[in-house]
Structure formats: structure tokens, C-alpha cells
Homo-oligomer: A and B are copies of this chain.
Amino acid sequence: MTGGKNSILILRERKAVDIVPDPISKKNYLDLPAPGLSDNRADVDRLRQELARVIGPVSIGPGIMNSVSRVLRESGWKATATVGVTDSGWRLVDLEGGDTTARHFGIAVDIGTTTVVVYLVDMRTGEVLDVEAGYNGQIKYGEDILTRIFNAGDSEGLGLLQSAVVGSLNELIADLSERNGIDGKEISAAAVGANTTMVHLFLGLDPSNICVAPYIPVVNSPGIVEAGFIGLGVNSRSPVYIFPSIGSYLGGDVIAGVLACGMHRRDELALLVDIGTNGEIVLGNSQWMVACAGAAGPALEGGVAASGMRAEMGAVDSIRISPETERAVYSTIGEKSPLGICGSGLVDGIAELFLNDIIDRSGRFRDGRDSYLVVPSGESGTGSDIVISQVDINNLMRTKGAVNAAVDLLMESVGCDLKELGKFYAAGAFGHHLDIESAVTLGLYPDLPRDKMVRVGNSSGEGARMALMSLQSMRDAADIAANITYFELNASQDFMNRFVSSKFIPHTNMDYYPTVKKKLADRKLLKI
């Protein structure tokens, strides 16, 4: 799975929100006076004093002191210092002979349960130079999060899971480095958006209390960690900023998403929905924010549905059903022979099944069959039929029901109506790929004027890029995390009631979905 070719993995807009560049690692070229009998300051002290003048206090650890001395002497006291931010100021990350300020790199990292993405960023401008994505190597220790939490129960298992994800990232970093002619040591900063469990496993922290009431993680705000501690294949002294989480089920990836869409900076009311294995929802504006999260179910994860696969070459990613023949017209990623259906294809297909009256409002096949044939075996690249099964539809109905119930509950809890929404943000890598019309048809997304609906792409990665480039963004993320009021849905009977009663397409109350109602009316399918 190579990035750059696959649209799901590319940031929608490189500068979705203006950032004043103030990156978390900085490079400064220094021309130091050579020592002599009348200026006998020691090498490290000489450098430290010059950095204090240029940047402010910089901590220089003992592990880099020999290198400082050697580089200063070899370069004739002309060298470039790279400093990185810590929890309490700046520290020296590297010292290179001569002027290397033109080469200043960082990585923005999105660690998903399934997929990891690394963006190579030019720290001078914030530009994404390249991107690489791959599977999270933890998959071999469990497809789903709960299995991984279980397997991390002893320190050996925890170590394996940590190595697995770091190994996956390091492969991507090595590929990016090679392709762009840079050395891993030249990468002097990293920022990471990930859910709470992924952060725990990335740092080697025991996640076992995450899934047990009262759902208390080891840490929500790990802050800035040194790359060497993690074993990340960048300069070992690089700062690795990790987005804070709100709790076990509302992770830093969502905070990064809020940061990326900028809803925390505007007065208009906005709703952010990120649907993956978990559904995470944030509602608010610059004044206040509420959020909730819940297991959305694995309906949209590749590999769960009958013919499911991840969003890779050969995945059916869009489906239209001919009203006349009831047969599917589909497209695949990379226009390859179809191998399976990815999440967005599934949503598209089920929406079409509904709009063509093949399934009813509760998601059941009207004729009682157990699956719909999307690609016959003769056309498929696997030699097998590619289908959407009743089980797939039921799974999606649960996801949709959970999202519906959560959005309704959250809106109601703050006394807001969907009409008041100024913006709806479809966050997360999946949100970027999904057809908005199909998602609205199924009720996954609210039925708002389309100009209010924004796909923010890989919002976790984009938030990470912003944090790389701006200390203020990092502080904003802390403020967002501190100010969000979190509703624990797992403990709410009200949520369960709504969840059970909301498993209708697109919603129990059809009036919330005027465009869907109109589509059904146009097709003479409106039976109420």
C-alpha cells in the first residue's frame, strides 16, 4: 500500500487552516567565535550561550556533548544547531557542520488501528513533501482493539505490540527517507495523532484499564517524548509530540481533527463526526465543546463484511444500482479487477439498495434473500462472487444507529437543533473517502445543506502537521482537550434506548432528512 497514489491518504488541503510558522523544532546557523586564551569558554558552554542569545535557554544533554565538540572543531566553529521543544523548554537535537538550514524535516503521523500514515513535512514551510501509508503491524496480534488490549496484558505482549507499530512506522520513514534523499537523522520532529489505545501501545503503556469501568487510561496527556525512547527511526533526540486524549474512547486523533477543521476558533456551531471502529462526535464552537464516543462497530472496517477489504487497489469503492435491471455498476480503486468492497463502497451499495427499494427502512431485504450480488465471480479478480450480505447491512445499521443516537443525544443535551449547525465536518480517513450523498441517505451523516458539509480528509494527520508547524497549535490542542465536556455513552441508558429505536434508514424521524425524503418521493418510494 503506497501513499501518494491512493487519494484516501492525501491531505485534502495542505493548509486548511492558516498557521503562523513556529515549528516545534528549529534550525539555526551559528558562526561562533573560535576559542583562545582570552576566550576559553568550553565548547558546549560556548554553544549554549550563543543559542541562549538566539533562541533562549537550550538544554544540551550529556549524550550529545562529544558530538558538539567534534562538529564545532571540524567545521571551524560554523555549524547549524537543531533544537526541539520539550515539556519545559528547548533542547539540542543535533549539531551539523556548516549551514544545513535548507534541510529541515519533520513527520506528521496518524496511527490508526488498521492503517498508519506518515507525512514527510518541510519544516521551513509546512509543505507535505511526501506521504507513505501501510498497515499497522499490530494487526497480527489482533484485528480489533480489544484483542490487542488483551494481548498487551503482560509486558512481553506489550513489548511486541509496541515494536510492531514502531516497526511499521519505521518502514514508512525509511521509504520516505530513501525516496526523498534524506537521512532519518535529518528528521528532527514528529507529531502523532492516534486514539488512546494506540497512544498507549506506541509508548509501551499498559492499556488494560482502558476497557474496564471507569475506563481510566494510564495517561491522557503524555506531552512530548524523545524519539529515542520510542525507537522511532528519526533523530533520537527529536521531540515526538502526541496529541492529548480526553479519555479512553476519545483520543488525540479526534483532538487533532478539531484542530485541523478549526471549529474551536469560530463562533458558528459545528459538528465533527469521525466514524471508524469507534464513532467519535464533537459539537461546539469557540465558546464550548461537548463530545461523545462509542463503539460504532466494525461495519466499515475492511475485512469484516462478507466481501470486505481495505481501501486498496481493486477495492470496489463506489456502487450505483440500475433501477431497471437492479444490477450494480461499480468502480474500483486504481481501476483494477474487483477484489472486494471497501467501507465507502459498502455505504454506497447499501444506500443504493435502499433507494432502489431492495431493502426496507429497517435494512432487510424485501424478498428475504441473504445477499446482493455486486460483482459476479466471472468478473471478479478473486474468482468468487463479491456481495453485500444481510449481515453486512445489519452491521452497518448498528453503526448508523449508534452515530444517530449519539448525535441526537449530544445535540439535545446542549439544547441545539441540527438547523443551527453552521458546519458539519466528516473527519478521519474514512470520512474523506465516503460519498456524502450515500452517507446522508443512510443517515450516517445529517441531512444539511451540502455547502455546510466539509470532508476534512485525514484530519488526524493534518492536525499532526499543524502541531509540527506551530507551538500555538500544540497549545490549542491542550486547550481543546481541557475544555471539551465528555459524555460517557457507555453508561447512559438514554443512549441505549435511542440506539435501539434509531435503526431505521435514514432516521426514525424522516423529517430530519428532507433530501432523502425527496429522493424517495421522486422514486415513488415514500410509503409514509
A residues in contact (CB < 8 Å) with B? 35-37, 40-45, 48, 57, 59-63, 65-66, 68-70, 73, 86-89, 203-206, 209, 213-223, 225, 229-230, 245, 247-248, 486, 488, 491
Q: Tell which of B205, B213, B247, B488 touches A62, judged by Cβ atoms closer than 8 Å.
A: B205
Task: Give bound CA distance, A89 to B57, whole Å.
Answer: 13
Task: Give bound CA distance, A213 to B40, whole Å.
Answer: 10
Give the residues in chain B near A245, CB-CB below 8 Å: 42
Task: Give bound CA distance, A223 to B73, whole Å.
Answer: 22
CB pair B45–A205 under 8 Å, yes or no, is: no
Q: Can you name 5 A-B residue pairings with CB atoms under 8 Å? A: A40-B215, A45-B221, A57-B87, A70-B206, A88-B89
Give the residues in chain B near A89, CB-CB below 8 Å: 88
CB pair A218–B37 under 8 Å, yes or no, is: no
Give the residues in chain B near A57, CB-CB below 8 Å: 87-88
Give the residues in chain B near A69, CB-CB below 8 Å: 205-206, 209, 218
Question: How near does chain B come to A92, taking the closest CB pair, in angstroms?
Answer: 11
Question: How near does chain B come to A85, taking the closest CB pair, in angstroms?
Answer: 11
Give the residues in chain B near A222, CB-CB below 8 Å: 44, 62, 65
CB pair A40–B218 under 8 Å, yes or no, is: no
Task: Give bound CA distance, A205 to B69, whole Å.
Answer: 9
Give the residues in chain B near A213, CB-CB below 8 Å: 37
Q: Tell which of B35, B48, B62, B223 touches A204, judged by Cβ atoms closer than 8 Å.
A: B62
Task: Give bound CA distance, A61 to B132, whole Å.
Answer: 29
The chain B residue with its CB closest to the CB of A210 is B42
Closest 9 pairs (CB-CB, A-B): A44-B219, A88-B88, A42-B220, A42-B217, A69-B218, A88-B89, A59-B87, A35-B216, A62-B203
Task: Give bound CA distance, A128 to B45, whole Å.
Answer: 33
Give the residues in chain B near A66, CB-CB below 8 Å: 204-206, 218
Task: Give bound CA distance, A57 to B62, whole Å.
Answer: 24
Give the residues in chain B near A35, CB-CB below 8 Å: 214, 216
Give the residues in chain B near A86, CB-CB below 8 Å: 59, 88
Task: Give bound CA distance, A221 to B46, whole Å.
Answer: 10
Known A-B contacts A36-B214, A65-B218, A222-B65; the reply to A59 vs B88 at CB < 8 A is: yes
Known A-B contacts A86-B88, A88-B89; the reply to A63 vs B229 at CB < 8 A is: yes
Give the residues in chain B near A209, CB-CB below 8 Å: 43, 69, 73
CB pair B229–A68 under 8 Å, yes or no, is: no
Task: Give bound CA distance, A205 to B43, whole Å.
Answer: 12
CB pair A205–B88 under 8 Å, yes or no, is: no
Task: Give bound CA distance, A222 to B59, whole Å.
Answer: 10
Q: Tell which of B45, B59, B219 touches A43, judged by Cβ atoms closer than 8 Å.
A: B219
Give the residues in chain B near A203, CB-CB below 8 Å: 62, 65
Give the residues in chain B near A221, CB-CB below 8 Å: 42, 44-45, 48
Task: Give bound CA distance, A68 to B220, whole Å.
Answer: 13
Task: Give bound CA distance, A152 to B524, whole Å.
Answer: 89
Task: Give bound CA distance, A44 to B225, whole Å.
Answer: 14
Task: Give bound CA distance, A381 to B316, whole Å.
Answer: 95
The chain B residue with its CB closest to the CB of A217 is B42
**Chain B CB within 10 Å, residue with most, of A35, A43, A68, A209:** A43
Task: Give bound CA distance, A73 to B63, whole Å.
Answer: 35
**Chain B CB within 10 Å, residue with most, of A61, A62, A215:** A62
CB pair B220–A41 under 8 Å, yes or no, is: yes
Give the residues in chain B near A229, CB-CB below 8 Å: 61-63
Give the residues in chain B near A204, CB-CB below 8 Å: 62, 66
Task: Give bound CA distance, A201 to B18, whole Å.
Answer: 50
